[in-house]
Structure 1
Amino acid sequence: MGRELPVTRSLPSDSWTRGELAVLDRLRTPAAIQEFLDSLRYSADPVYRCPRQALADRKAHCVDGALLGAAALRRIGFPPRIVWIDAENDDGHLLALFHWPTRPSRRAGSRTYLGCVSKSNYPGTRYREPVYRDLRELVMSYFDEYVNCIGQRTMRAYHDPLDLSRYDHLNWERSDEHLDELIDGHLDRRRRHDVLPPGFRRRLLDVSPDRLKSALLGTSEEGRFVPKPPRRKR
């Protein structure tokens, strides 16, 4: 994961300021991108930040972080693709995908594996190594880590990836102006895939107190979703 890839500048370098380029040019691997996202303060602000604004503010929530991650991944040769995870009684989550090709072998041929970078208030729902064979396998690695602050397992679905390069006309890397349209419109309309078997929702167990304590370790209380309390059983 520490191997550097050739830098592919998708846009002229003068579209970023010198200060921005000084930061972005240091992010030469997915692991370095994730380390930078982890260094940003978690934002509880109910606004979307484009990558430029996130760099300026030095803070981000999951949407801001995924957009910044996608922009940084793009500069090292990966398509800027994001995937939305739906949750119930909890915040959704956004991932920025990258693929990692293996060396061809006579037995297995060549295969591409998926990983992702992300910004999250919860440590267990951040980076994933590129060891997953397909999108569902990658997304399902989040299921048991995806809990709200009262211990409910809340992940319910994911959407088909969105290729942000198709929306460069919205200037998503350097302007906040059209982010509502991009996230709440185009991303939200991607095909949705449920992750629970039919009728299984009520059978889900809450995580144990120890697991919940571990999940909340290092989180910002201000940034936590406030869930509705469970209904009392009669």
Structure 2
Amino acid sequence: MSLSARIQLAQKRGLTLKHAQVLAKLDTPRKIQDFLARFPQNFEPQGDTARSVQGAMDAHCAHCIEGAMIAAFTLWLNGHPPLLIDLCAHRDMDHVIAPFQVNGYWGAISKTNYVCLRWRDPIYRSVRELVMSYFHEYAKGPRKTLRSYSRPFNLQRLSPKQWVNHSGNCWEVAELITATRHYPILTKAQTKNLRPRDPVEVASDKITSFPIPAWKRQRL
């Protein structure tokens, strides 16, 4: 599909011309990830948000689910289904990724401010294998916190008005992903015997793409 055709498709699916022109240029998963890595982090100074694709682009910042929806939308422009996967954590924040397949292998696009939970190359044979690649990095302090993951949620189930150009927060999308069937990844015995991360691993949490404001650090 040509660039002009992708721009027209993005507009048809709800984006303004300005943002359609930006996202339509991202014609590979890698380019989408590179765009999100440069895209400013949404630290939510006015409280929790779940902005639509249009809303996040207007605000020129995004956090995990907002970035995942941008990625899913842009993948959709390139012929991939717009999928999201919820990574569910214990006593930690959940994370949402945008999975995709290349030649039958799974990869993922991810928006995060930290070293962990980032891009995954399309080398994984199953969704579970993809998710498990995040296990040792998904942590809070010394604790490894990832406990379950959702089946891929296809955003084509929804109207674009619910997630592409919604003028408010897309809480319904977040609720639907949370309600999607989740699969546990650990037994109770395995959970009990997890080795805590060592000091070097914990120290890596201080590396961020964008500086965390002081007010935000106090809430973490």
**Per-residue displacement from partner, 1:188-231 (whole Å, max 9, x unpaired)?**
1111111112332222222111111124312554566967xxxx
1:194 is aligned, of 184, 188, 198, to 184
**Partner secondary structure for residue 207 of structure 1:** coil
Q: Partner of 1:200: helix, strand, or coil?
A: helix
RMSD between aligned residues: 2.3
Q: Which stretch shows the higher mean deviation, 119-128 or 155-164?
A: 119-128
Secondary structure of the structure 1 residue equivalent to 2:91: coil
Distance 1:151 1:22 in 2: 43
Mapped to 1, the partners of 2:10 and 2:146 lie a distance apart of 39
Q: Map 1:207-218 onto structure 2 (within 5 A).
A: 207-218=197-208
Alpha-carbon contact 1:62-1:94 (below 8 Å) kept: yes
**Between Structure 1 and Structure 2, whose CA radius of gyration is higher?**
1
Quote how far apart the aligned CAs of 1:154 are.
Answer: 0.8
> Shift of residue 59 of structure 1?
0.8
Structure 1 residues 65-108: Cα deviation after superposition (integer angstroms, max 9, x where no partner): 0011100110111000100000012110001111101xxxxxxx
1:32 aligns with 2:31: yes
Contact 1:159/1:191 (<8 A) preserved: yes
Q: Is the 8 A contact 2:99 2:107 kept in 1?
A: yes
Q: Report sequence identity in percent.
A: 30
Letter in 1 for 2:158: Y
Secondary structure class of the residue paired with 1:218:
coil
User: Which residue in 1 is equivalent to 2:156?
Assistant: 165
TM-score by length of 2: 0.87
Aligned match of 1:137:
129
| Maintained 8 Å contact 1:65/1:118 | yes
Give the conservation status (yes or no) of the 8 Å contact 2:50–2:169: no
Secondary structure (helix, strand or coil) at the match of 2:136 reads helix
2:147 partner amino acid: R
Match of 1:63 among 39, 62, 65: 65
Change (3 A) 1:169 1:20: closer
| SS, match of residue 74 in structure 2 | helix
Q: Which amino acid aligns with 1:155?
A: L
- Secondary structure (helix, strand or coil) at the match of 1:144 reads coil
Q: Using the alignment, how far apart are the partners of 1:12 and 1:146 within structure 2?
A: 33
Query: After the TM superposition, which residues 15-164 of structure 1 pair with which residues of structure 2 at under 5 Å, given as runs?
Result: 15-45=14-44, 46-101=48-103, 112-148=104-140, 150-164=141-155
Deviation digits for residues 45-78 of structure 1, max 9, x if unmatched? 1111111111111211101000111001101110
Q: Residue 188 of structure 1: SS of its match in structure 2? A: helix
Gapped regions of structure 2 (runs ≥ 5): none
Query: What letter corresponds to residue 206 of structure 1 in structure 2?
Result: P
Residues 178 and 79 of structure 1: is their aligned pair in 2 closer, same or farther, counting only changes over 3 Å?
same
Counterpart residue identity of residue 168, structure 1? S
Task: Give distance in 2, aligned partners of 1:226 and 1:195.
Answer: 29
For residues 156 and 17 of structure 1, the distance between their equivalents in structure 2, rounded to whole angstroms, comes to 38
How far did residue 176 of structure 1 move? 4.3
Letter matched to residue 33 of structure 1? I
Question: What number of residue pairs does the alignment pair up?
Answer: 211
- CA distance in 1 between partners of 2:217 and 2:137 (Å): 15
- Greater share of helix: 2
- Corresponding residue SS for 2:86: strand
Aligned equivalents of 2:57 and 2:185: distance in 1?
A: 34
